[in-house]
Amino acid sequence: MGLVGTLILNACNKFLDVLPRTQIPEDNLFNTEQGFKDALTGVYISAKSNATYGKSLTFGTIENLVSSWDVTTNTLEQQLGLFNYGDSRVIDQFNAIFSQQYATIAAINSILQNLETNKSVFKTEGMYQIIKAECLGLRAYIHLDLMRLYGPMPTAPNIGNQLAYVTEFNREIHTSISYEEYRNKIFTDLQQAGELIKNYDPMLSYSMNDIRNPNGVGSNYKPQDDFLSYRNMRMNYYAIKALEARAYLWYGNKDSAYTSAKEVIEAKDSNGDIKFKLATGKEFTAANFSLTTEQIFGLYAFDLATTYTNFFGNATYRKGTSSTTVTNQLYGNTGTDFRESSLWNVITLSNGSKYNVIRKFWVTADNVTVLTDYKQLPMLRTSELYLILAETAPFSEGIEYLKTFRANRNIAGLAIPSDIPTLQNEIVKEYRKEFYGEGQAFYAYKRLNIPKLQVLFAPSSATVNYVLPMPTVESTN
């Protein structure tokens, strides 16, 4: 526990050490409202680090843990798929994720701490509440993912690692706390965030088309402050509620997960239209493969075209040399599923080799409008809420949510589950299909303690272990 505390301290120091290079001392940064805005923008940039949501916790490390990609013998990626947590490369990878997450938390806590001491600098109505709510929501988001990675199995919460829920910005060592205490702190942050922001977030007052096209032609949303543009790319009110649903499900509170998820999918615009809709075939036809219209919260990735080229365009991340493996084993060869027919592509490299790669993060770098700029990494999607509702609603209602989800993916002819275990099994299959390359399948497998035989593409020699080892200080110094 002492070693882990020291590692968190090192992460905090990592953030502190950046301050001099910015040429803006911390005391000066928080002397103006703009300084707080800039600091929060820095948090989102930190979250997009390759060590976390820019790669490792989206399509990289976490997808290798469930063998989403073909691997080469004796590589880091192969060892991840084998759950060989003693491999030095694997240890370093897990340490990097852990350290970066706590460094981002340190940046968040720095803002929160200064918000209280410098509250008087805020002149824009609601800005203090919005910034504080975003920080609390982001802190809960990252802490939840730390628990979902390094924490114990939800089926055995008192056996395994304990983590620190860091709420202060200082150079002190933070002590690990119990599973229950950690859970309570997540929901305290989320509930406070929701209360702070609900009366100020434009997400509640404007349609998603307006939110995605601020100050655009035909848009009713005309923010005078650019900081309030593109609320779908920030921790907004509905993202907080969606995160609540995810967290409640993780901790086994199905009734509350149901309530939070339903609030989001039943939200309506002023004209009565549903605010958050499931994507249909038109998104795939428009090459919006990451389904940005479904993203309740996504991170803007200006360099996503380069990222795609570096990791998918050269087939670093691939599955098979033809479409057969994915079509048959992942999607069941339906012949109709939009994901099956549109989301993958066989590419030919300069040496003539052919590989099947996912197009989820393919984007056009240039010549895009605001509404066709798909450079977003998904953090919370509407489809996840439908799967949460399918799992947490009364059985007959859950079936209807699953049917709606399937219909929007153009899946027809599949048997309707006749009992709860069968429904649960179908939901797990959909997590794998829907969030391929997004990191969510690992969490579903861990939450439900799915055996290896049900982990699609898992190597026969692997011994499944869903609890990542706590990092060691030595390998991060």
- Give the tens place of pLDDT for each residue, 137-187: 999 999 999 999 999 999 999 998 999 999 999 877 889 999 999 999 999
Number of CB atoms found within 10 A of residue 356's CB: 20
d(CA 445, CA 443): 5
| Measured distance between the N- and C-terminal CA atoms of the chain, rounded to whole angstroms | 17
d(CA 442, CA 465): 11
Q: Specify whether the CB–CB gap between 336 and 278 falls below 8 A.
A: no
Residue 89 confidence class, pLDDT cut points 50, 70, 90: very high
Domains of the chain: 1-200+439-477 (1.25.40.390)
Regarding pTM above 0.85, the answer is yes
d(CA 239, CA 48): 17
Go through 402-411 and write b for each residue having 16 or more CB atoms within 10 A of its CB, e for each that does not.
beebbebbbb
- Is pLDDT at 367 greater than 60 in this prediction? no
d(CA 160, CA 182): 14
User: Mean pLDDT, the chain, as a whole number?
Assistant: 93
Q: Specify whether the CB–CB gap between 272 and 332 falls below 8 A.
A: no
What's the average model confidence in pLDDT over 91-95?
Answer: 97
- Is pLDDT at 26 greater than 90 in this prediction? no
- Give the tens place of pLDDT for each residue, 251-307: 999 999 999 999 999 999 988 999 999 999 999 999 999 999 999 999 999 999 999
Task: Name which residue leads in pLDDT, 365 or 420.
Answer: 420
What percent of the chain clears pLDDT 90, i.e. is strictly above it?
87
Helix (H, G, I), strand (E, B) or coil at 164: coil
Residue 67 confidence class, pLDDT cut points 50, 70, 90: very high
Residue 213 confidence class, pLDDT cut points 50, 70, 90: very high
Helix (H, G, I), strand (E, B) or coil at 333: coil
Among the listed residues 265, 132, 264, the one whose alpha carbon sits nearest the alpha carbon of residue 197: 132
| DSSP labels, 242-288 | HHHHHHHHHTT-HHHHHHHHHHHHT-B-TTS-BSSPPP-HHHHHTT-
d(CA 424, CA 409): 18
Helix (H, G, I), strand (E, B) or coil at 379: strand
Among the listed residues 442, 446, 448, the one whose alpha carbon sits nearest the alpha carbon of residue 424: 448
Map tokens 């309530």 to a residue. 259
Among the listed residues 17, 43, 175, the one whose alpha carbon sits nearest the alpha carbon of residue 104: 43
d(CA 113, CA 123): 18
Q: Specify whether the CB–CB gap between 141 and 154 falls below 8 A.
A: no
- Is pLDDT at 3 greater than 60 in this prediction? no
How long, in residues, is the chain? 477
